[in-house]
Structure 1
Amino acid sequence: MEGLKVSDADLAVYVQPSKNTKVPQAVLRELSSLLFKFNEAFGGVVLAYDVQIQDKVAKILPGLHPYFSVRLKAKLLLFAPKPKMLLEGKVVRLTETSIHVIVLGFSSAVITDEDIREELKYKMKHSKELYASRSHKHHVIKVGTMIRFLVKSFDEEILHISGSLVPPNTGSICWLAKNMEDVSLRDRFYAGLFI
């Protein structure tokens, strides 16, 4: 899946003097406050971190409320979706006009009817809502289906994605995997005929 990247960062964490006996815990608490929020400095949503404290000696910063400055190096896992990237998520709700998806368990995405290709039609089958393909009977999208979709936009403030199922390489991941295998096998067969 696109939109995930690992970034190296040199950081300075400011710790209250009252935490001077528990600096590692205070540093981890500060870093944990960055999780699942968009951070402009890093250019994405921080999902995880791996940290190494650089100096064993912390610097005391002067002021009314002096803090310790602790330098560290961190590897950050960032979620930074951009338009035209392909993302994957789990369908959590379907309506006649939209498909609602959760990406990585925390970011919501919506695909509206103008961004769902013509071939996929909304249906009610056995009192369950689904989108089914007119041209491929096994291509079905229902609640619980993992889908691949194209990013149209990403609202960094509320971590909301607007997506599209118009491109042919989008839809149910299971169907795409089987369909791509069939296509590649067919291509290999035809290539073998001409060698």
Structure 2
Amino acid sequence: MEGLKLSNAELMIYIHPSKSRNVYQAIGRELSGLLFQYNETFDGVLLAYDADVKSKQAKILSGLNPYFGVRVEANLLLFDPKPNSLVEGEIVKISPESIHVVVLGFSAAVITDVDIREEFKYKMRDGEGCFVSRSHKGHTLKIGTTLRLQVQSFDEEVMHIAGSLLPENTGCVKWLEKKNTEQALHMDRDHKRRKIA
């Protein structure tokens, strides 16, 4: 999935003197407070971190509250989907006008009817709405399906993605992988036939 990136960072974490007995726990709390929020410094949403104290020496800051700074080296997993990148999520709601998806368990994505390619037609099956491909009957989008969509925009404040199903490489992930496997097998057979001939 695109939109995920690993980043190495050297950070200065400022800790209150009352937390000096357990510095590692204080660092963990400071970094945990940044999780699942867009951070301009990191240029993405922090999903996970692995921090290591770089130096045993701390720098005391003068002022009203004498905080001390600890240098930390951290590996960060960030989520920052750019326009035209592909992300995957689970469909949670379908209506004739839109498909609602949850990406990575925390970010909402919506695909409106103008961004769903004409190949898909809305139908009711077993009392639930779904989109079925007119050209490939096995390609069905329903609640619980893992969907690959193209990012049109990402609102950092509310973690909302506006998505699109217009490109051919979007849709049900299982169906797309099966299609790619079949195409690879078909190409391999053609290559072997040419070799034999």
What's the TM-score bracket when you normalise by the shorter of the two chains? over 0.9
Q: Find the counterpart in structure 1 of residue 113 from structure 2.
A: 113
Secondary structure of the structure 1 residue equivalent to 2:27: helix
Q: How many Å separate the matches in 2 of 1:45 and 1:152?
A: 17
How far did 1:191 drift?
2.4
How far did 1:194 drift?
2.7
Q: How many Å separate the matches in 2 of 1:103 and 1:66?
A: 41
What are the within-5 Å matches in structure 2 for residues 2-151 of structure 1? Answer: 2-151=2-151
Secondary structure of the structure 1 residue equivalent to 2:57: coil
| TM-score normalised per structure 2 | 0.97
Q: How many Å separate the matches in 2 of 1:117 and 1:92?
A: 19
Deviations 1:26-51 (A, max 9, x none): 11100001100001111100000000
Q: CA RMSD in A?
A: 0.8
Q: How many Å separate the matches in 2 of 1:17 and 1:190?
A: 71
Q: Find the counterpart in structure 1 of residue 158 from structure 2.
A: 158
How far did 1:176 drift?
0.7
Deviations 1:34-89 (A, max 9, x none): 10000111110000000000111211100111101111100000001001111100
Q: How many Å separate the matches in 2 of 1:66 and 1:139?
A: 61
The one-letter code sitting in structure 2 at the alignment partner of 1:135 is S
Deviations 1:100-119 (A, max 9, x none): 00000000000010110101
Deviations 1:107-159 (A, max 9, x none): 00000101101011111112111000011111001000001111111111111
| TM-score normalised per structure 1 | 0.98
Q: Find the counterpart in structure 2 of residue 179 from structure 1.
A: 179
Q: How many Å separate the matches in 1 of 2:150 and 2:126?
A: 30
Secondary structure of the structure 1 residue equivalent to 2:56: coil
Count of matched residue positions in the alignment of Structure 1 and Structure 2: 195
Q: How many Å separate the matches in 2 of 1:157 and 1:105?
A: 16
Q: How many Å separate the matches in 1 of 2:155 and 2:121?
A: 28
The one-letter code sitting in structure 2 at the alignment partner of 1:81 is P
Q: Find the counterpart in structure 1 of residue 190 from structure 2.
A: 190
The one-letter code sitting in structure 1 at the alignment partner of 2:194 is F
How far did 1:190 drift?
2.0
Q: How many Å separate the matches in 1 of 2:11 and 2:125?
A: 54
Moved runs in structure 1, 4+ residues, more than 6 A? none
Q: How many Å separate the matches in 2 of 1:55 and 1:185?
A: 54
Q: How many Å separate the matches in 2 of 1:171 and 1:12?
A: 43
Q: How many Å separate the matches in 2 of 1:175 and 1:46?
A: 31
Secondary structure of the structure 2 residue equivalent to 1:18: helix
